[in-house]
Amino acid sequence: MALDPKAVGQEGTPAERAWTTRDTLLYALGVGCGVDDLQFTFEKNQLVLPTFAVIVGMGGIPFDKVGSFNFAMLVHGEQAIEVFGPIPPAGKVVTTGRVASMFDKGKAGVVTFETDSKDAETGELRFRNRMTVFIRGAGGFGGDPGPKSEPFQAPSRKPDHEVTYQTSRDQALIYRLSGDMNPLHADPELAKAVGFPAPILHGLCTYGFTGRALLSALCKNDVARFRSMEGRFSKPVYPGEAVTVKMWVDGSSAVFQTVNPKGDIVLDQGRFGFQG
């Protein structure tokens, strides 16, 4: 089995994805919204959380073009989104994915995919996703080792904003209904078999909680002001734990970290762009 660096630049087959108000409401519940967030959880004058882009904008990814590898060794490492205006409560997009980069890290291969999602009727670009995966055991294929990562360090000053949300014990069971049915997030026996004491929360659920905090603190829940968000998954969250998002603002951008109750960073190297 080996990754193929010639795959860089190749595109996948465009994929169409439609969604309804039920889907966007369910997503909001999956990332912790409730009766205090009726603009996202009730269809009257409904708004859509911008991070919903990770649910409907990840189609057409050309996994079949990158070579052969064991999917069980794939770890979702980083996620970034750009949104180009409010997402409608119901809609349809056509998404095209491509292999953006592939690096050989020796013991692992690192592959980044990018997707563009365009409105199926107007052709307008609605959102863009960038996903980086680490594939353990897939390095050593003779590819480019890639640039050295610039060290990320949060500012030494006190955060400009901190927002804490409590996840529920059944959070993963709700979130998985938006599409990621991996049993790792529901089956206690499977979780223990792969080294976790209990089922873990989806990384993209943590990402959604973080996006809510950024939207609330920096955009006053005005979805039209939300521009971009990226971060690296560094540690799992367990359903029932609280997550705290720390933000340091610089004009119309911010850096952030999300931590668990012990202070461990669970989403790192966060960068957020918004309309000031």
Among the listed residues 43, 84, 25, 56, the one whose alpha carbon sits nearest the alpha carbon of residue 223: 84
pLDDT for the residue numbered 148: 84
- Single out the residue of 240, 202, 248 nearest to residue 51, CA to CA: 202
How far, in Å, CA of 73 to CA of 67, rounded? 14
Fold for the domain defined by 161-274 = Thiol Ester Dehydrase; Chain A (3.10.129)
Residues of the chain with CATH 3.10.129.10: 8-136, 161-274
> Are the C-beta atoms of 187 and 194 separated by less than 8 Å?
no
Q: Give residue 1's pLDDT.
A: 57
The per-residue pLDDT for 247 is 98
Structure tokens at 40: 């996202």
Instruction: Give the integer Cα–Cα distance in Å for 83 and 125.
Output: 9
Asked whether the whole model's pTM tops 0.85, one would answer yes
| Residue among 276, 227, 272 nearest 252 (CA) | 276
Specify the CATH number of the domain 8-136: 3.10.129.10
Q: Which residues are annotated as catalytic? A: 180, 185, 200, 203
Q: What is the side-by-side strand order in the sheet with 108-119? A: 15-19, 91-104, 108-119, 125-136, 74-83, 226-233, 265-274, 253-259, 242-250, 161-166
What is the DSSP track for 34-76? -GGGHHHHSSTT----GGGHHHHS-TT--GGGSB---GGGEEE
Three-state secondary structure call for residue 180: coil
Query: Could you tell me which of 261, 243, 239, 236 has the C-alpha nearest to residue 186?
Result: 239
pLDDT tens for the 276 residues of the chain, in order: 589 999 999 999 999 999 999 999 999 999 999 999 999 999 999 999 999 999 999 999 999 999 999 988 999 999 999 999 999 999 999 999 999 999 999 999 999 999 999 999 999 999 999 999 999 999 999 999 999 877 888 899 999 999 999 999 999 999 999 999 999 999 999 999 999 999 999 999 999 999 999 999 999 999 999 999 999 999 999 999 999 999 999 999 999 999 999 999 999 999 999 998
